[in-house]
Amino acid sequence: MERITTFEQYQQAYKNSVENPEAFWAEQAELFTWRRKWDKTLEWNFNEPDVKWFSGGKLNITENCLDRHLEKRGDQTALIWEPNNPDEAAKKISYKELHSEVCRFANVLKHNGAKKGDRICIYMPMVPELTIAVLACARIGAIHSVVFGGFSFKSLSDRIQDADCNIVITADGGFRGAKDIPLKSVVDEALEICASVKKVIVLKRTHTNVIMKKDRDIWWQEEMEKVSDVCPAETMDSEDTLFILYTSGSTGKPKGVVHTTAGYMVYTDYTFRNVFQYNSGDVFWCTADVGWITGHSYLIYGPLLAGAATLMFEGIPTFPDAGRFWNVIDKHKVNIFYTAPTAIRSLQAMGLDFVKPYKLDSLRVLGSVGEPINEEAWNWYNENIGKKNCPIVDTYWQTETGGMMISAMAGITKTKPGFATLPLPGIQPALVDEKGNELHGNNIEGRLCFKFPWPGIIRTTYGSHERCRETYFNIYKGYYFTGDGCRRDEDGYYRITGRVDDVIKVSGHLLGTAEIENAINEHPDIVESAVVGFPHDIKGWGIYAFVICDNERKDVDNLKSEIIQTVTKYMGPIAKPDKIQIVKGLPKTRSGKIMRRILRKIAENDLANIGDTSTLLDPSVVEEIKIGAVL
């Protein structure tokens, strides 16, 4: 398939995409199998918001991920699976086999009452069946809602309830490093408060004992025996919902980001092939969990649409030792490797002895995603993993954008450490000031918006279109607002400076401070809490919690560990605070609003720049907090 191969071609494509976006994207859409061609390429209005791509078109994304490849590359590998334990055999699944498994599981879903439009929650470990489950939903037109396996029962039940799911697909447990994760028992706990769920399909993975509820819980392996592997794909409209994926927001409740079929397909395929400069036959490895958007777009859909071999890894980078990533790259001869800065920094900290035993000579392109990559980590990645021979693409995007937005194209765009570089074709960034005025020219800093739709853009937030409008389209009129600060330098290169709202990127995971506070407040002794981020050497950002306790507990260390347990229980281990400070009061304005700006300065140990505290109800609390700060 065609792709851009020179910088001049990129510039030309960019120009075309801005001057005539419809023709530009229609040409990309022509590459796919359609049951009916679309009538109108784009209709849009950012005020509603109402964005439709390829309306009138009919298709099924799994026909494009699977059936379309059968004739030419049916026997080629679609999925390489590397287990948590290196002593267990890896698996290679061809396009033909994946097609057959997806069809079979699609029949299992139908057999258990699933139909087009139903919401199905997937809460699974990183095993091939996770990919199969995702694609099987899409095959029958059911909407998948994947929940990251590291989330706790409360986060899971919130998401199941919000989307009103009728089926949950899970496993008895999952292997992660030296740990077993008891997925099924988390599901059981979550379902105590989710009446909508009628069936739970359970994959046997860890073979731990689980309780199977009669008439509700069934085994994956047994169900697969009962059905055939012939399952014609459901005909979907271009704008039918493909999936919901929850992401954290400034308020406590996560938002169900909705992506639809055709635009998402065209966009993930285009960005995958061009940014990574994918060549037919390449082995591609994205280390993200399918529970996050990166796993959706660049472990499953993008690579399979392109006909690539996509690698899925069950385990963690440090098991059995910190050389595991490099071991897997050599073992499977990975050509393109895509990971997060947190992983790079943590492996860098383990020392080069874990890298030296490996050749890494199959690598051609390296990618980074999820958070700003600092120069030191960029250089380490470049020198020790890429051997100064592999272009690095620092890809900036979001759950809501569906695919990469600002990124180099590997080997084509000149890179600068710390810069996501330039917008991809079709992407029109705008930096605005706090009032929403666009800042023109170079050498400026502002808030990052996009002023024109691209095919992968969020369509709505599930259950509340108004929330989508308010969060993304109403803050700066006429723009989609990302929530990120950004600099455009003298060369027109973009550097993301970080979030400007109340969410924190911890180890590349987006967490809402309000959500963490809600979890902390579940502790019976805590009356109120305020969470802010602070710069962290490995994780990018760490979590600092200021908490008010309603009785004079002397055993502060116990209290702190109870708080950590509470957060783990209600939200998941990824949201555990790194620092906890017990305080008597929080800095509030007279109207009762917590002034987080002040707390952030304290957490960052930037006491000199706390600024004006005179508008506070009780400025003395700031002094008290400063004295007790955990630095």
Q: Summarize as ranges the residues that interact with ligand WTA (CB under 6 A).
A: 247, 292-294, 369-372, 394-399, 420, 482-484, 496, 499, 505, 510
The closest residue (CB) to ligand WTA is 399
Element (H, E) at 180: strand 179-181
CB nearer to ligand WTA: pick between 95 and 397: 397
CB nearer to ligand WTA: pick between 292 and 452: 292
Give 461's strand partners: 257
Backbone phi, psi, residue 267, to 5°? -75, -40
Residues with Cβ within 8 Å of 586's Cβ and at least 6 positions away in sequence, in order, are 528, 530, 546, 548, 594, 599, 621
Shortest Å, Cβ 457 to ligand WTA: 13
CB nearer to ligand WTA: pick between 100 and 145: 145
Shortest Å, Cβ 480 to ligand WTA: 12
Shortest Å, Cβ 596 to ligand WTA: 17
Cα 245 to chain centroid distance, Å, stands at: 8
CB nearer to ligand WTA: pick between 486 and 519: 486
CB nearer to ligand WTA: pick between 69 and 296: 296
| Lookup: tokens for 415 | 């890179």
Shortest Å, Cβ 245 to ligand WTA: 9
CB nearer to ligand WTA: pick between 415 and 581: 415
Shortest Å, Cβ 539 to ligand WTA: 13
CA distance 186 to 190: 6
Residue 294 contacts residue 304 (beta carbons within 8 Å):
no
CB nearer to ligand WTA: pick between 106 and 427: 427
Which amino acid, residue 29? A
Residues with Cβ within 8 Å of 230's Cβ and at least 6 positions away in sequence, in order, are 103, 107
Long-range contacts of 588-591 (CB under 8 A, 24+ apart): 588/616, 588/617, 588/618, 589/615, 589/616, 589/617, 590/615, 590/616, 590/617
CA distance 393 to 419: 9
Backbone phi, psi, residue 228, to 5°? -90, 170
Residues with Cβ within 8 Å of 141's Cβ and at least 6 positions away in sequence, in order, are 60, 115, 116, 117, 234, 236, 240
CB nearer to ligand WTA: pick between 385 and 486: 486
3-state secondary structure of 216: coil
